[in-house]
Structures are given as structure tokens and as C-alpha cells.
Structure 1
Amino acid sequence: MITIIKNAYQALRQNMRRSILTMIGIVIGIASVITILSLGRGFEAYTIKNLTASNEKNVAVNINYSPTDYEQFSTNKMRYFSDEDLRVVRDIEGVEKVDYVKSDDDFLTVELQVAAKKITRHLGFVKFDKERVVIGRSITPEENETHQRVAIISRETAKDINANQDRVLGTGIEIKGELYQIVGIYESGSSGLFDMNPDVKIPKKSYQYYTNNEGNPTQIKITVASDYKPSKIAQKVIKKLETVGVSRNFGDYSTFDMSSLTDGIGKVLKMLTYFISAIAGISLFIAGVGVMNMMYTSVSERTQEIGVRRSVGARRRDIRNQFLAEGLMLTISAGVIGYIIGYLIALLVSAFLPFKVSPDLFTISLTLIITIVIGLVFSITPANMAARKDLVEILR
């Protein structure tokens, strides 16, 4: 085998210019695929990280508690979640950490009754100097201090309530058992995958006062351990709380299934990355044809060499392995160069993007597999042709 590899290297070196030109096609194809895969996987990780709305390394999900009668909790004698609830949840397999969600987290979900159906919306708190109200008015600091039940909503939420947005002003929406009057409609701004803008905004002190949320959080945050599916862990937690939760008989537990959203978006991004990579990989097929053409030319030019080797004892299998080794050496060398170039390009591009790329086992393995397959597929026919050459015909 060592002798075959040495001979393959010498044969490729004798035709250095032709070998380099043949390798260029493979280098371009591999570099294109690796660049797209690296950027795609980096973007996927960045998207999932931002969608979790958590600074934790692992995915976090929130468990909400909605009491059926808020009056029972108004005196602060009853708690939505207890320390015992947290201890029980912490013992569930797949839960790495569990904490109360304080009102300072400013990221809550509420169910709004619209016509005959309920819709889930993000609830936020008013920032008095940053609101862009386009219809009606904004909420004043005085209303916050005096615990007024007023709200402003986004255009999209207003359209869900009534197609005529002007008629929405003055109507009420129920939030956590309290009726809030809509006084303004604002532009939600550039809401995207990485910027979860609230759909409804109310005074923070009003929310804390009427829901008794300041010292009695209505949400807990579950940090899911790696290798566990967040949606399944969230359902386990809810089932456990419905069985032993301290307030299980006075309300319902639920979760905004951000994990399912991230799972779906992750799959879409992954399939999109693979699809674009497959299109870029078409150039690899063209490069493979170039490898086959080079190998056919090499076999034709080295007919006498094949005859000499056969006459001194080389078997057909040795001749076949010789040319297969040349094809593999050519493609694997080009694959390694293409991987390095592709990764460097992805690294350079990511310097101007909000995420970074890093080499991983998947792309390295993919490069190795692709180059081996190209080398074998497009070299096997010329190698077999060389092995089947008739020794008597060659010497004649």
C-alpha cells in the first residue's frame, strides 16, 4: 500500500499542471458547500439562541399559572407557585434549573378574549419616553403611579379586534382577570425572529398591583438540560404541577410553546441550508467528470508503463489500485484545500454578521466522505480499463 501511494504521488507530480487544474473544480465545489454549511449552521444556532429569550446556554421555557378566580390571591395569602413546587420541578429529569420569573423580566404572555375566541399575545410594560402611538394617546407616568387600568396595543392586535382600528379605542381587554381600557395604538416596529416586541403594553405598577405579581410571580422559568427536547420537558412539568402543585385546584398551568417554534424554525433553516448546499454541490459533479477525463487521459498515456508493470509481475488488482489511489489522492487533497478555503471565507463573512462560525465534526466528515466518493466513483471506470488491458496487445 505504501508503494502504491508513493507511485500515485509521483504520477500526479509528473503532470503537476494538469493535476492542479483538475483539483481546482473540486476545491471550488467543496469550498462553496463548506461556506454555505458553516454560515447556515451558525445562523441556525444564532436564531435558536435568540428565540429562547434567555441568556442561558441551554433553552429555557416559561410555565404560566392562570387562576380561575383572582380574588382568592388578592390578599397575598395564597401563592401561585411555592418553593415546594420549585423543588418538585427541579427533581424532574431533564430540568437543569428552575427559578421564579420576576416582573422585571418584562416578558409575559396573556390570553385575550376577542369575539368568540381567545388569542395569545405578548404583554409588556410601557416605556414612557419611547412609545410611538399613532392613534389615540400614550400612557402617562401619573397613570402608572395611580395604578390606572389603561393599555396601548399594536396595530396588528388592533386589527385582530376590529378591522376599523378607530373603533378599538375606548374598548376594554381583559388581562389576568382585570379589564383594561385601550387608550392608544402604536407601531410595533421591526419585530422579527430576534426582536420579540410586546403586542400589549400596560403600566407596570398597575399590573403588579392588580395581579399581586410583585411578590407573587405567576411564572417560573425552566432551564432545560442539553440533549432534552424543551417541549417534552415543559409538558412533564405541567403534568407534575397539575398533580402536586400548591395551587393546582384554583387555576391552570400552561406554557407558550416557544420550543416547538424553535424546533420548527430550526428544521426549516437546516433544510434550507442543505438545499442551497446541494445546489452548490452540482459543481462537484462537474469536477468529478474532470477527474474521470484526467484519469482516462492518464491511462492512455501510460499504456507502456502498465505493460512493463504487468510483465514484471504486477496483477490486475495492483494496476486498478494504482489508478484508484491516484484519483483518491487527487480528490482528498483538493477536498482538504477546499475545506480550509471554505471555512476561511465563512469566517471572514461572519466577521460582518452577528454570529460566528466554527469547524465541527459534521462538516469535516462531510468533506472527507464527499471527496472519497468522488474519487472512487469517477476513478473506478478508468482504473478498471487500465487493469483489463491485454498484456500481449500492449507488448506488441
Structure 2
Amino acid sequence: MENLTIALRSIKKNKNRNLLTMLGIIIGIASVICILAVGDGFTQSITKELGQGNTSNKVTLDYQANSADSADSSGFTSGDAALLSDVKGVNDVKLSNYDSTVFTNVSSQGNKMKTYIGAIGKKSDVNRTQRSSLLIDDNSYNVLISNRLKQKLFGNDSANGKTIQIGTDVFVIRGTFSTDEYSTNVYMPKKTFNHIFAGKSGKNQAKLTVESGQSKKAVGQRALKKIKASGEYKHEGKYSIEDPTKAMKSFQKVLNSVTYFVALVAGISLLIAGIGVMNVMYISVSERRGEIGIRRAFGATGKNIRNQFLTESIVLCVIGGILGIIIGYLLVLLINAFLPFKAVITIYSILISLLVSCAVGLLFGFIPANKAAKSSLVGLLKEE
């Protein structure tokens, strides 16, 4: 307590100099708080969205065709649903699609290929203007095609306004969009898609409701084993268990790693601030050599002197850290007004900031404090 009182008195005595010294600590801690808050908020937002369908009593089985040629017809059948219903612990089975696409023939100007056709929606990988142009008339025979498909059917010529045959129906191309090799290459209005392709796409998901008291993992493994052995399309594709929890944990781990790395880069400013702290402590030791000599003359040991200046260095950094946390909190409130998700300040980020502040004070204050502790009593008294 005596060292703490002396430290606070010394900091107050030279408050302008010490405030400028603390400025680097304040900026560094505020930056770290903001980055961790934004990273944690984004991680929580994404994991919450990914986990919305992950209810405690549901198990989802997926089917993936071995080849694209069988992708439009294979999957789970009503017979498979009945088979899964007999698995011990399964209360109900529902078949569905994890996407709204079919794999079929498209052709134009004598060029022909098979590709994925999808219904336009809010999550389709096309821009808003193109999406709106199709959604205006939900029964139209207008389509958008990918640049990849346009290149194969029309080469370097423009595709806008030209016709394309999908199955036995003819559509008018209203625009193109960019996509990767394995994505949907044609989008059409939803009602048109449902009218033409109703019943043609296979069911590639089986959602099992697990009975109360049964283990999700055990039921899922039994169901997977049974469908692999007796599924109607077992030779044309692969069955697997969807595990959103595992995916969320992996995704969260990656996001946290990126957040911590960026926070570490921002925390480099604390090293510069630490050098400032070391400098001001050297000045403090030089200015107070008379005080050190008097204390040594009255019996203070080198350890007492070292602890006195170490305490002052740590208090200086902790005060800067607390001010940095307060400013960081205010900045997060401001940032939240512009973010689509809520940045979150967690207890661990505050604790980390305080521990880092203490560490900076201890690390960069030790050398000046040690110099003060090793000062010769005779030399100090001669100076006085």
C-alpha cells in the first residue's frame, strides 16, 4: 500500500508527462478491445445462423451422387424413408432437398451440354438488379445464364435476347452472371421452375426425428449403417451424416484465429508504448535519486526500491489500460451503429487487456527499477 501511495503521488505530480506516456497504452488497448469485440460479435452471429436448424432431437442424412449423370434422379426414396423409420430410436422421417436444382440438357445454336438449373431466389449468386428482373414476372420464360455456359454455347458473341432450349421448353436469355465450375449455371423464375421440373429432382436429405431419451449419435450411426446396406441408390452415390456442430466449431476456430492475429498486430503499438513507459521511468529515477538515497539511508533495501518503481510503472500502465478499455467500449457502441451484426465485448477481452497492461508495466519498468535498486548509497549521498 505504501508503494501504491507513492506511485499515485508521483504520477499525479507529473500528470501531463505521464498522460502523454499513457496515450500509447490507451490507443493500443482500445484498438485490441474493438478488434476482439468485432471478431467475437461476427463469430457469434455466424455460428448462430449456422446453428439455427441444429435442434437437439434431429439427425440429417445426406446423399451425394457419384456422377453428375445420375444427380437429377437418385437420392432418398419413399422406400428408403420406410427403411429408416424402422431404425431403433427414429420417431419420424422426412425427405427433402438441400438445394432447388435439377441436372438436365440445355442447347442453343447446335451446341448442347448438361448442367444445373435452379430457381431464382434471394440467396442466388446473381446481383440484385438481375434477380429483380426475373422476379417481376414469376411465370415468365426468361432466364439468366452463367458466363461459363454462355462461353460454351455462344463463344464470344452476346447471349442477351437469344433463346436457349432447356429440355423441351424454349427460354429467352436476359443476362449473364459469374459463377464457379460447380455452381448453378441457369436461373429461372421459381413458379416456372416448379411447373416444369416438379418431381424431377431427387430427395437428397433425410431428416430423422429422434425419440426422447435416445442418443442422437447412436441413432444416426444405426440409420447410416442401414441405409448404406439397403438404400435403393447405394451403388450410385454415398450416404453421410450431416454434422453442423462440427462445421460450426471449425468455422469458429478459423474466425477466432484471424481475430487474435489481427488483435496481435494491433497490440504491437503496445511495444512502442512500453518504450515510452521505460523512458519516463528512467527520467523518474534520475529526478528522484535524492529520494532514493534518503530511503536507502533509513534502511530501505534494494528490493524495496525496485518494488517501489515497479509498482509505479505497473500502476501507470494499468491506469492507461483502464482508460483504453473505457474508450474501446465507447468506440464499440459507435461501431455497432454501422455494423449489420452486434460487436460484443466479453469478459475475457477485458481481462486480457488488463493483464497485457500489467505485463507491459512489469516488463518495461523492470530495467529502470533495477537500476534504481542497484544505485550506490555513497554515490547517492555524494550527489545530494
Partner letter of residue 20 of structure 2?
Answer: L
Unaligned ranges ≥5, structure 2:
123-129, 210-216
Cα separation, 2, equivalents of 1:186 and 1:72 = 31
Separation in 1, partners of 2:86, 2:281 = 68
Normalising by structure 2, what TM-score? 0.68
Does the CA-based 8 Å contact 2:150-2:159 persist in structure 1? no
CA distance in 2, matches of 1:197, 1:69: 13
Displacement of 1:156 in angstroms is 4.0
| 1:228-377 paired onto structure 2 within 5 Å | 240=225, 242-243=227-228, 246-247=231-232, 249=234, 251-253=236-238, 270=256, 272-377=258-363
Query: Secondary structure of the residue that 2:375 maps to in structure 1?
Result: coil
**Aligned-partner SS, 2:199:** helix
Matched, 1:84 2:72: no
CA–CA separation in structure 1 for the residues paired with 2:151 and 2:223: 29
1:220-235 to 2 correspondences below 5 Å: 220=206
1:183 paired to 2:171:
yes
Please report how far the alpha carbon of residue 355 of structure 1 lies from its aligned counterpart in structure 2 after TM superposition: 0.3
* Residue-by-residue CA offset, 1:186-240 (whole Å, 9 max, x unaligned): 557899xxxx9995445224433334x7xxx5424589xxxxxxxx99x979954
Structure 1 residues 385 and 339: alpha-carbon distance in aligned structure 2, compared to 1, 3 A threshold: same
Quick check: 2:74–2:236 contact (8 Å CA) kept in 1? no
The more displaced of 383-392 and 107-116 is: 107-116
User: Structure 1 residue 300: deviation in Å?
Assistant: 0.9
Q: Give the total of aligned pairs.
A: 348
Q: Deviations over 1:299-325 (max 9, x none)?
A: 111112111222222221121111111
When normalised by structure 1's length, the TM-score is 0.67
What displacement does 1:342 show? Answer: 1.0
The residue aligned with 1:387 is 373
Taking the aligned partners of 2:252 and 2:198, their CA distance within structure 1 comes to: 36
Go from structure 1 to structure 2 and tell me whether the alpha carbon gap of 1:8 and 1:182 turns closer, same or farther (over 3 Å shift). Answer: farther
Task: Give distance in 1, aligned partners of 2:147 and 2:247.
Answer: 20
Who is 1:25 aligned against? 24
SS at match of 2:237: strand
Q: CA, structure 1 residues 41+249, in 2 after alignment: closer, same or farther (shift >3 Å)? A: same
- Residue 268 of structure 1, CA deviation: 6.4
**SS in structure 2 opposite 1:357?**
coil
Q: Measured at CA, do residues 126 and 339 of structure 1 come closer, stay the same or move farther in structure 2, by a change above 3 Å?
A: closer
Q: CA-atom RMSD, angstroms?
A: 5.1
> Could you tell me how far apart the structure 1 residues matched to 2:28 and 2:7 are?
23
Identity of aligned residues (%): 29
2:193 matched to 1:203?
A: yes
